[in-house]
Copies of this chain bind each other. A is one copy, B any other.
Amino acid sequence: MNSEELCRVYRCLCDVTRLRILNLLGEDALCVCHIQQVLGESQVKISKHLAYLKSHRLVESERRANWMIYRIADASNPILEENLKCLQDLSNEDPLFMDDLQRLQATDTSVVCCTTSG
């Protein structure tokens, strides 16, 4: 873990959409369409941010049939973990993160339920 790596972690954290995604993935692994649903953002936008997070190793993905399941990377570094904790604390204060988590609870996130409609 050197200073360059550190910066790259922070680069990942300095976008609201990515923070929202990480906030969700802090709860559980999720497929793209569920993230998309919960955040109410476009497919491209979510997909790109996930690619960004993945390219910086904060996140891992695994294909399951048509779906890609994303999760916080196993070998994620201490800085990320510390900040995910902070994010968790903050999600009790910030309406944006809070609402995301509530929508996540209200969503059936089993992989079978990956239709954009429901």
Interface residues in chain A, defined as those with a beta carbon under 8 Å from any beta carbon in chain B: 1-4, 6-8, 10-11, 13-16, 19-20, 78-79, 82-83, 86, 90, 93-94, 96-97
Contact = CB atoms under 8 A, between A and B. Distances in A.
B6 A90 contact: yes
Nearest to A20: B3
A90 B1 contact: yes
A15 B6 CA distance: 9
Contacts of A3: 16, 19-20, 90, 94, 96-97
- Top 5 nearest A-B pairs by Cβ distance? A10-B14, A10-B13, A11-B14, A3-B96, A10-B10
B4 A16 contact: yes
